[in-house]
Chains A and B, each alone.
Chain A
Amino acid sequence: MELEVNDQSYEIQSDGETPLLWVIRDELGLTGTKYGCGVAQCGACSVLVDGVVTRACVTPVDSVIGSRITTIEAIEEDEVGKRVVDKWVEHQVPQCGYCQSGQVMAATSLLKETATPSEEDIAAAMTNLCRCGTYNAISAAIHDLADETKEG
C-alpha cells in the first residue's frame, strides 16, 4: 500500500485495518499526532485528509489510500496552517500541549472551509477536548484569525 503523507509517498507494511494514527506514529515515526482515547472522542489524533479534519484513531489506513494526508509536522507548509500556528503562538494557547496538534488541525480545517466562520461554525468544528482548559484562548485565536480575514 502506498500512503501519501505530507507530500511524501510511503510504502506501508501495516494491515489495512490499522488505524491511520498508528501507521503515522509507529510506522512513519511522526509522533506529533497524538493518541488520547482511540475512540474519536478527544480529537488529539486529528489530521487532514484531503484538507478535511479527520480523527485518525478510528480511520483504517486502507480507507485513505490515494488521499493526501497532512499531519502537524507539515502544517506550517500550508498557508492557512501557518497562520493558525502563528496565532496559537501569539495567543499563547498551549499549556501541556498534548491536544494542541489536534486543535491546530481542527482550526486549520475549519478556516480552509470557512475563512470567516460564525460562532456556530466554530462551535461545530472545534470539539476537541483539552484537559488544561485552553478553550478561551483557542476561541480568541480563531476569532482573531476570522477577523483578520474579514478586515484583510
Chain B
Amino acid sequence: MLDKQEIDRRTLRSTAPSNISRRGFLLGSAGAAAGAFVLSVGLPTRAARAAGENLPAGTRVPAFLEIRPDNTVRFLSPFNEGGQGVFTAMAQIVGEELDADPATFVVENAPAGDDYKVMGPPFGRITGGSMSVRMSYDVMRRLGALARRMMLQAAAESLEVPINELTTEPGQVVHPASGQKLSYGELARAAMDLPVPDPDSITLKSPDDFTWIGKPVERLDVREKSTGKAIYSIDVKVDGMLHAAVQHAPRLGLTVGTIVNEDEVKAMTGVHSVHRLDGAVAVVAERWWNAKRAVETLDVQWNDPGADSTDKRYMPADFSTEAFRKRLANETGNGTTAEEEGDAPGVLSKADNVIEATYFAQYLHHAQLEPPSTLARFNDDGTLDIWLPNQAPEMFQGAIAKVAGLEPAQVNIHSPMLGGFFGRHFLYPQANPYPQAIALAKAVNRPVKLIWSREEEFLRDPLRPMAAVRMRASLDGEGMPEAVEIISACEGPTEANFGHNPDSVDPTAVEGLSGKSYAIPNRRIAQAYVQNPATLAYWRSVGNSMNDFIYEAFLDEMADTGGLDPFELRMRLLKDNPRLATLLRHVADLSGGWRRGPFEAKDGTTRARGIAMASPFGSHTAAIAEVSLRDGQVVVHDIWETIDPGSIVNPAIIEAQIRSAAALGASQALVEDTVYENGMPEARNFDEYPILRPDRMPRVHVGILESGEKMGGIGEPGLPAVPPAIANAVSHLSGKRVRSMPLSKIAFDS
C-alpha cells in the first residue's frame, strides 16, 4: 500500500524535471551506453518518467542507485549473481568512486531496460562470457563518481559553503574547516533534485587511492546463502499461485497424441487440470509434488511427425552419441579456415615425421543445482510479471512478449539469484520453461509456477557441443613444432542457436584451438561444420572447455615425440612472449618447481604432474595437476593454477572462481559424459550422470599475477587449462595417451 507521502513523491517525480535518466551525459562518457541514474530517499526506484524522455507508458524507468536514510545503498545491477561474485564486485567498483563502503550495499538484479545495457553493442547486457566487470568497469566507476559529486553539491547548498571546501569520507560529506558532516542518507533527497553533472567534469580516482578495488572485500551474499535466506526463482511465491510440472516428449519434435489415462490422473490428489503443450504434457496442481506425481502418471502416446515437420531441432529415434562420435571422427573435409599462418598443409605434405591423432570432446550437461523454473502471473492491467533464472533480461523480455502476445514493455522480468548457471540460462529455443509457464497461466487464469524436475531438465538441457578434432603436426630437427593443422568437426553453440553461416567459422567452436600464443611458424585451424540433432549450449568457458584440452594434450604428444620436456617446450614456444613466459614460471614456482615425475609421494603412491595453459576471455592461465592411479582410476591430488587477468577487483573472489572453475574442469575431465541412445539421454538424474563429488576434489592452489595489462575475465578462465593438465599427467604416468574425456571411461593399469 502506498501512503500519501509516497504518492506525492511519485507524482512529483513523474512531472518535475529531475536527474532521472540524463542519458545524454552518460552516453558519451565511456564509449558505451550507460545507465540512467536516480537517487531517492526510502523509496524503491520505479515507474518514474523523466521530462523529455520518450519512454513507452507502463515501463519502469530504471535506475541504479537508491541511498536510504539509514545510509544503505540499494544498487540495481545490470548483471545477475549466480555465484561468481558480481554483486560484490559491482558494489566495490561503484562504492569506490561514490565513497561508500561496499558492505553498506544491497544489490539486486535490475529489471529489463535499455538503461542497463552498459556493455554497449553487440551484447548490451548479458551475464556471461566472463564479461560483466571488464566490460562495465569504466561505466560503473563513473556512475559512482557522479553520485559522489551530487552528494557534494547537495552538501554545498545545505551548508552554504563552496563545493571545493568539501570532501567525503565513506558514506558522508565532510567540511573539514568547520568539522560539519552530513551523511549520504541525509543528503540523498536534496541530491535527487540536482541535475546529473557533466561526466566530463568528473575525475576518477587514481588506482593508488583505491580503498576497496583490488582488496579481498567480503561477499555481500554469503550470510544469506549460509542461512537459507537467499531467494532463487524456484523459491518465489505469489498470492493465488498454482504449481505445475511437465512430462516432456521423450524426443524433441514429437507431439502429444492420446493421453490414455487422463480421467484417472485428473482424479489424483490435488490435481487442478491436465494440459497439452508443444511437445509436452503438464499437470497444474495445488502443490508441486502433486503435479509431479500426476504428470509422471500420465500415459501419453506420442506422435512422431518426422524431421520434416519442424524447422526446429528434431531428435531422430536412432540417434546415439557413440555413432555420432564416429560420424564426427570420419569427417574428411578440410573445413573452413579460422586461423592461418604460413603454410601448414604444405609443410605437412612434405614432412616425413607427421604426428597425427584424433581427439574428442564429449557432450556435457550444465547440471546447475537449481532446476529451471518459471513463475508467470498475468495482471489485470494486461501486463505479465515473470520470474525466471536468466542471464539476459532484455532478450528474455522480447522473447516472452512474443510468446505471451504482449509488447515487451508489458513484460516485467524478475531475475532472482541463480542457483548456478554455467551458461544454462541463456535464451535457447527449445530449452526454457517460460513458454509452458505462460501457456499454463493463461489456461488456468491464475499465476503458475512451473518447475522442471531434474529428470525433465536432463531431457531438455542443451548440451556442451561434442567435437572430434584431427590434429597433425611436424617437428624440426630440434624437436620444435614446425607446422600444425587442426580441423575440428563440430557445431558451435553460437551457430546452433543463432544460425549457421556456411561461409564462416563459429568462433565459439574453435576458440582454444585458435588464439593460442605459441610461436609455431605454420598453422592452420579450421572447423568442419557438422550439424547436431541435439540442442547445444554455451557451457562454462564455451569452446575453450573442450579445445584447450585437445590442443594442450596434443602439445604434450609433440613434446614427447620431439624428446622435449613439456614445460621446456612451452617455455621455448613462448620465448618472445614475456607475459606468458612469466605466467608459466609463476605456476611452476607455485607448485614448488616444475617436476614431471613419476615420483613417489609420502603416502607411497606414484605420482606425475602435467602442465597446460589457456588464454580464454581476455585472461591467461597456467595449471599444473598432480595425479596418481588407484584401482585403474585417476586420482587428482593437487592443482596449482595461476591466472593473469591483467588487473583485478577482488582477489578473494578470483581465488574462489579459480577453485570453482578447476572443480568443473576436473569434473568434466574425470567423470562427466552425456550419452544418448535411441534418441534419448541415458542419464536423467545425478545417479547416472555423475558430477565431481567432494571425495574426488583436488586441493586447488591459486596464484594471481596482476600484470597490469587490460582487464580480462574471471568466471570462466580458470577452467580450460585444468583438463589438459590432468590428462597430460595421466598420459605420462600411465604411458597411455589420453585423447578423450572423461577419464573414468578409460581403463588404466595401476
> Residues of A at under 8 Å CB distance from B?
14-15, 18-19, 22, 25-27, 29-39, 41-42, 44, 71-73, 75-76, 85, 88-89, 92-101, 104, 123, 126-139
Contact = CB atoms under 8 A, between A and B. Distances in A.
A75 B227 contact: yes
Given A131-B691, A133-B660, A39 B83 contact: no
Contacts of B228: 30-33, 71-73, 75, 101
Contact of B83 (A22, A96, A123): A96
Contacts of B350: none
Interface stretch (B56-64, B94-102, B148-156, B695-703): B695-703
A71 B154 CA distance: 48
Contacts of B686: 36-37, 39, 41-42, 129
B125 to A, nearest CB: 20
B289 interface: yes
B371 interface: yes
A126 B289 contact: no
Of the listed residues B219, B289, B700, the one surrounded by the most CB atoms of chain A closer than 10 A to its CB is B289
Contacts of B692: 133, 135
A61 to B, nearest CB: 10
A89 B664 contact: no
Task: Tell me if A's interface is mostly helix, strand, loop or mixed.
Answer: loop
B222 A36 contact: no
Contacts of A101: 227-228
Contacts of A19: 289
14 contacts: A22-B287, A22-B288, A27-B287, A37-B686, A39-B686, A94-B221, A98-B420, A99-B369, A101-B228, A126-B694, A133-B661, A133-B662, A133-B664, A136-B699
B369 A136 contact: no
B681 to A, nearest CB: 15
Nearest to A40: B687
B287 A136 contact: no
Interface stretch (B112-120, B229-237, B602-610): B229-237
B451 interface: yes
B232 A98 contact: yes
A131 B367 contact: yes
A95 B656 contact: yes
B652 interface: yes
Interface in B414-451: 417-422, 451
B369 A129 contact: yes
Of the listed residues A14, A35, A139, the one surrounded by the most CB atoms of chain B closer than 10 A to its CB is A35
Nearest to B664: A133
Interface string B649-662: 00010001001111
A130 B218 CA distance: 21
Contact of A18 (B226, B229, B289): B289
Contacts of A93: 222, 226
Given A26-B287, A31-B235, A123-B694, A132 B660 contact: yes
Nearest to B422: A131
A132 B287 contact: no
A32 B227 contact: yes
Contacts of B687: 39, 41
Contacts of B419: 34, 96-98
A137 B455 CA distance: 29
A36 B370 contact: yes
B289 A14 contact: yes
Contacts of A22: 287-289
A131 B672 CA distance: 12
B475 interface: no
7 residue pairs, one from A and one from B, having the closest CB atoms: A32-B228, A133-B663, A97-B225, A98-B419, A96-B83, A95-B83, A72-B228
A98 B370 contact: yes
Contacts of A126: 694
Contacts of B183: none
B660 A94 contact: no
A100 B225 contact: yes
Contact of B229 (A26, A32, A92): A32
Given A29-B237, A129-B686, A137-B659, A94 B288 contact: no
Contacts of A135: 663, 692, 694, 697
B326 interface: no
B454 interface: yes
B227 A72 contact: yes
B685 interface: yes
B693 interface: yes
Interface string B212-225: 00000011011111
B370 A34 contact: yes
Contacts of A98: 232, 368-370, 419-420
Contacts of B656: 92, 95, 134, 137
A123 B289 contact: no
B189 interface: no
B84 interface: yes
A41 B695 CA distance: 14
Contact of A134 (B660, B667, B695): B660
Given A26-B287, A27-B287, A127-B693, A42 B369 contact: yes
B448 to A, nearest CB: 14
B269 interface: yes
Contacts of B453: 38
Given A88-B222, A132-B420, A95 B232 contact: no
A94 B225 contact: yes
Interface in B184-239: 218-219, 221-232, 234-235, 237
Given A88-B226, A136-B699, A39 B369 contact: no
Contacts of B222: 88-89, 92-94, 97
A97 B220 CA distance: 12
Nearest to A96: B83
Of the listed residues B226, B234, B269, B656, the one surrounded by the most CB atoms of chain A closer than 10 A to its CB is B226
Contacts of B661: 133
A132 B243 contact: no
B408 interface: no
B465 interface: no
B685 A37 contact: yes
Interface in B439-487: 451, 453-455
Given A73-B228, A129-B686, 16 more contacts: A15-B269, A27-B287, A31-B231, A34-B370, A35-B451, A44-B369, A72-B227, A89-B218, A94-B219, A96-B82, A97-B417, A126-B694, A129-B694, A131-B422, A132-B663, A133-B661
B420 A131 contact: yes
A120 to B, nearest CB: 10
Given A14-B287, A19-B289, A92-B218, A36 B226 contact: no
